[in-house]
């Protein structure tokens, strides 16, 4: 588990007010939406804003694979790392 993945887990918990969950409770490869963590589209918007604010990433809803980027913590970590390197 990378430091960035831990930061993203903490950001998910903080920005969405998930009080009963600790970062270690979130599996890096588990789905964040639907059957996984159970996030919904409103949560996706809030998480996207939090990612933009903290990491300065550009989130374009027209991007075809944006849904894939937000699927898991591992995917989000790769997306943020790629955006920061660009």
Taking only the tens place, the pLDDT of each residue in 35-62 is: 889 999 999 999 999 999 999 998 887 7
- DSSP element (H, E) containing 46: helix 41-55
| Predicted model pTM | 0.91
Look-up of token digits 């918990």: 13
* Total tally of structural domains belonging to the chain: 1
- The CATH number covering residue 37 comes to 1.10.1200.10
Contact status, residue 34 vs residue 51, Cβ threshold 8 Å: no
Confidence of residue 31 (pLDDT cuts 50, 70, 90): very high
**Residue 50's domain spans which residues?**
3-85
Helix (H), strand (E) counts: the chain: 4, 0
């Amino acid at each position: 588990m990378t430091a960035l993945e831990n930061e993203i887990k903490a950001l998910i918990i903080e920005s969405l007010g998930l009080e009963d969950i600790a970062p270690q409770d979130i599996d890096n490869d588990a789905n964040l939406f639907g059957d996984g963590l159970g996030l919904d589209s409103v949560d996706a918007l809030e998480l996207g804003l939090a990612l933009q604010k903290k990491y300065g990433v550009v989130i374009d809803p027209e991007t075809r694979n944006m849904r894939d980027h937000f699927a898991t913590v591992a995917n989000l970590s790769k997306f943020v790392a790629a955006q920061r390197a660009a």
